[in-house]
Structure 1
């Protein structure tokens, strides 16, 4: 089957649309792909590039495309896939050959061969670009999700401005780094960076304010309560103690020390 060029307009034919290195352009309207060399549109570049004295593999390498990239329009690729499936179903010999390939895949041999080839060959430009774009998209998504969590936390805490929240919670109320980070749904490292960016001095390690100590006590109480599945850790400890549970057992259950349990019980 010959692949004659399919050009959408005379202007396209005259100007020639040359895709950039490492990118394959499909014209979804005309259902064609664009040749990097001549800029014309074809249903199958694999057949066309012979006119440029190249094989499909050489073309992919020359223009930084994935080795697995189909050099054809979507409908043409689907037609080829349907033809291959029909040949597979009609031929016991073909099925036998595919069976050997599936066995290699199950045993991991195909993966080992692919890795060996990958070590010998540099990644094509398109693969590097795809990886970079995927990584960048993932980072942007994570950043948006984190920003949304912080915006919700700001609103829940009664703030409309992050700088105001940082000054109020950390500088004025003397909350600890841990408690401020929890309230604003921030990581501690990011919180420290934000404090510095907004000109708020980070207290040195070991500096204890009354508010800071209270916030750490609250964090410990909250963590113990979550561990045993209660909202009031003091009440839970009292109930368990009244039922004869030992101090050591209570300490193990809450993940705290025996003196911590004793202090909470006496607080009641």
Structure 2
């Protein structure tokens, strides 16, 4: 009887990727959204737009796709200064560079030139000249998000200030105050002063509270309020 030795087949570990969900204008399939760097939760690894694999650093990997780090950022609509490494590795590199800066007088001397340009604003001017043109889609998205967040913050601040004024006046909400103020004959000018609201919003809030407004008959007078 012949014994046949079983041959162990070595299998490569599975590679977790996903199908093309996005496309470039030239039809190239992407595994991550254009203008966005996708980070894997838990590991912090970065998804390659072109193959869907996850890496701690994309800088060396993208050469397999015929890209440099700079051309990859440009093709994928990323910011020119976007790090292509995981945040943990980025922090490690920053720590090493800081330590090298502190212990090397020669390095500090070389960097002093750039620091002086930065202080005078010359560095920003040079950068704007080199990178003149439309901002990257990622930068546009980040700027829009910052503007939206700023608007929400300002709106929330105004709402808090209004709530504080209403509490001082003894009212839980704006509608209650407006209906009460109208019932005792308070002018719109006085309502606006008490609440800090502009005319446009005051009229909208009066309308929502069921109090209609009409222009005064005399020029220069504030509008009057009438009950619906």
TM-score range for the pair, normalised by the shorter chain length = 0.7 to 0.9
Aligned match of 1:13: 17
Aligned match of 2:188: 177
Distance 1:43 1:108 in 2: 34
Distance 2:43 2:15 in 1: 15
Give the Å deviation of 1:61.
0.9
State yes or no: 1:191 paired with 2:202: yes
Q: Report the 3-state secondary structure (helix = DSSP H, G, I; strand = E; otherwise coil) of the residue aligned with 2:80.
A: coil
Provide, for residues 97-127 of structure 1, a one-character-per-residue CA deviation record: whole Å limited to 9, x for no partner: 2111112122321021123234x22101111
Q: Report the 3-state secondary structure (helix = DSSP H, G, I; strand = E; otherwise coil) of the residue aligned with 1:94.
A: helix
Distance 1:202 1:84 in 2: 68
Give the Å deviation of 1:142.
1.8
Identify, as 1 or 2, the structure richer in helix: 1
Q: Report the 3-state secondary structure (helix = DSSP H, G, I; strand = E; otherwise coil) of the residue aligned with 1:148.
A: helix
Task: Give every structure 1 segment of 4 or more consecutive aligned residues whose post-TM-superposition deviation is greater than 6 Å.
Answer: none
Cα RMSD over matched residues? 2.8
- Of the candidates 23, 44, 55, which is equivalent to residue 36 of structure 2? 23
Give the Å deviation of 1:49.
0.7
Aligned match of 2:157: 145
Give the Å deviation of 1:46.
1.0
- Unmatched tracts of structure 2, length 5 or more: 1-12, 22-30, 224-228
Question: Which of the pair has more CA radius of gyration?
Answer: 1
Give the Å deviation of 1:70.
0.7
Q: Report the 3-state secondary structure (helix = DSSP H, G, I; strand = E; otherwise coil) of the residue aligned with 2:116.
A: helix
Distance 2:103 2:20 in 1: 43
Superposition pairs for residues 37-52 of structure 1, below 5 Å? 37-52=50-65
Q: Report the 3-state secondary structure (helix = DSSP H, G, I; strand = E; otherwise coil) of the residue aligned with 1:12.
A: coil
Identify, as 1 or 2, the structure richer in strand: 2
TM-score, with length taken from structure 2: 0.74
Aligned match of 1:231: none
Question: May I ask how many residue pairs the two structures share in their alignment?
Answer: 199
TM-score, with length taken from structure 1: 0.64
Q: Contact between 2:163 and 2:173, CA under 8 Å: does it hold in 1?
A: no
